[in-house]
Structure 1
Amino acid sequence: MNKDEIKALFDQQAEGYDQQWSHMAPINDGLYFFLGSIFADLPPESDILCIGAGTGKELLYLGERFPNWTFTVIEPSAKMLTVCKNSLQQAGMSDRCYFHEGYLETLPQRTQHDGATSFLVSQFILNPDDRSAFFREIAGRLKPESVMVSTDLAADTSAPEYEKLLSLWLTVMANAKVSEDMINRVKTAYNTDVAVIPAKQIGEIISAGGFEHPVQFYQAGLIHGFYAVRGRDC
C-alpha cells in the first residue's frame, strides 16, 4: 500500500477502531507492562516522539505512568488523530502534547526527543532500505543514547509452522474460527502489502537505521517488540 492508501484505510477504521480491537487488549497490556521499565532511566521531564500514534493508547499509558512527560504525536490519518485528541483531552493530557497530522518526514524539527515509540508502523514499508531509512529518520530526531521501542508483525513465512501460527493469529484477531479462504487472503496481503519478515531481519534493519543492539523483548502471536538505543554517531 502507498501512503495515501494507508491513510484512507485508517480513516475508514478510526471511529470504531478501539471497540473493534478491544478483545486484543491483553496483548497491548502485556506490551505496555514493559514500557515503564524500558523507559525508566529517561529524564523526569522527557519529550517522547510517538509515531503512528493511532487512537493514543500508548500515550494514555505513558502519560499516567510518567506525569511530567510531554509528547510529540504523529499520525497521518486525520480521523485517527481526531479520536486521539479527544481521548487525550478527556484524560486531561492534551496540553502535554504537540500534534502533527502527517508522516514523520513532514514533522518540523522542533527539538531532539528523549525517546520514541513506533507501534505497527514500519511493517508497511516494504523495501528494507527504505525501512532502515525510516528508523534513521527516527534516530536523527533523538538525543544520543535515547531509547526507541518499536513493534511490528514478524514471522518466517517460509517455515513449516507458519501456516498454523497464521491460522491461530487470525482466529485471535477475528475472535472466531476463520476459514481457509480468509487465511489465504491474509497470507497474500502479508506477502504484498505488509512486510512480514523474520524478527532477526527486523533487528538488522533497526541496526542499519542507527540504533545499537536492538533487543527483542516481547512477542505475542505475530507481534514482536524491540527496544534499542540511538547510536552516538548517528
Structure 2
Amino acid sequence: MATASADAARKFDPGRAAEYETQSRIALAGYDACHELSACMLAAALGQGAPAHILVVGAGGGGQEIVTTGALEPAWRFTALDPSEPMLDLAVAKLRQHGLLDRTEIHLGYIDDLPVEARFDAATLIGVLHHIPGDQPKRELLRALAARLKPGAPLVLAGNRYAYASRPLLLAAWAERWRMHGAGVDEVQAKLGKILQGADPPHSEAAVATLLKEAGFEPPTWFFASLFWGACIARRLSSKS
C-alpha cells in the first residue's frame, strides 16, 4: 500500500496544489454540498454535540472536511493526514484562517504512520480511493483505516466509483462541465486525458461495498452523487477487533 499511496501523492505537486480548490469545484459539481452532507451524516451518526475525534485522511488542499464539519460541531477534534506536503500546507493555511488549527493535529504521511492503538470516533476518506491503483492497495488502505477506528465508528467515503470508459455519456457530460467553465476544446481533452491516465476508481457501487466489507465495514449507505462521484457512509463492524 505504501508504494501505491506514494505514487498517488506525487501527483499532488506544488503546481497541482495551487489550483486544487478551483479545479475541484469544476470537476465535482456539488463539491460544497458533498462536504456539507458529509458533515451532516457524521453528526447524525455520532449525535449532535457529542465530543469526538475525527480522522481526516487526505486532508490536503482546502481542508474542506474539517472547515465544514468543524463549524457544525464545535466539540469535535481532528487529525489531518496527507502524504503531500504542498497539499497539507494549503490545508494548514485554511484551517488557520478559520480558527480550526488549535483543534487539529497535523500529520504528514500515511495511515500506517499512525499508531495502531489510535482509536478514532469517525473518519473521512474523500477524494482519495480512486487515486490508489489496484484493488489490493485499496483494500489495504481501508483495512488500515478500519484498524484505527473504534468498533461501530462511521466512515464517510467519497470519490469516483465507475470505470471511466464504462460510462461514455457521463464522460461526455464531464467534458461539457469544463467547457461550461471556459475551457477550449484542446484544454478539455487535456484535462480528460490527465483524469483517465491518473486514476483507478472502483468500477461500481457494488465494488465499493465489497472493498468495505473485506476491510471490516458494514454495508454502505449512499447519500450523494454527481456524475462519476459518489459519497457513502459505513460503520466499522462492532465485532472486528
Q: 1:145 to 1:220 in 2, by over 3 A?
A: same
Using the aligned pairs only, state the percent identity: 25
Is residue 170 of structure 1 aligned with residue 180 of structure 2?
A: no
> Aligned-residue CA RMSD in angstroms?
2.5
Is residue 31 of structure 1 aligned with residue 34 of structure 2?
A: yes
Q: 1:181 to 1:46 in 2, by over 3 A?
A: closer
Structure 1 partner of 2:24: 21
Trace 1:1-234 onto structure 2 (pairs within 5 A).
2-12=4-14, 13-23=16-26, 27-39=30-42, 40-42=44-46, 44-55=50-61, 56-109=63-116, 111-157=118-164, 159=166, 162-173=167-178, 175=181, 176=183, 178=185, 181-182=189-190, 185-186=193-194, 188-189=196-197, 193-234=199-240
- Give the counterpart letter for 1:67 in structure 2: P
Structure with bigger strand share is 1
Q: CA offset at residue 173 of structure 1?
A: 4.2
- Give the counterpart letter for 1:66 in structure 2: E
Q: CA offset at residue 196 of structure 1?
A: 4.6
Q: Normalising by the residue count of structure 1, what TM-score does the alignment of the two structures yield? A: 0.87
Distance of 1:90 and 1:11 partners within structure 2 = 22
Deviations 1:188-231 (A, max 9, x none): 516xx423511211111111111001122211011111110100
Deviations 1:5-30 (A, max 9, x none): 43232123112322343445751222
Q: Normalising by the residue count of structure 2, what TM-score does the alignment of the two structures yield? A: 0.85
8 Å CA contact 1:147–1:230 kept in 2: the answer is yes
SS at match of 2:218: strand
Distance of 1:122 and 1:8 partners within structure 2 = 15
The answer for unaligned runs of 5 or more in structure 1 is none
- Give the counterpart letter for 2:228 in structure 1: L
How many equivalent pairs are there? 230
Q: CA offset at residue 36 of structure 1?
A: 3.6
8 Å CA contact 1:157–1:196 kept in 2: the answer is no
Q: 1:124 to 1:183 in 2, by over 3 A?
A: closer
The answer for unaligned runs of 5 or more in structure 2 is none
Deviations 1:162-211 (A, max 9, x none): 11211211332463464585487357516xx4235112111111111110
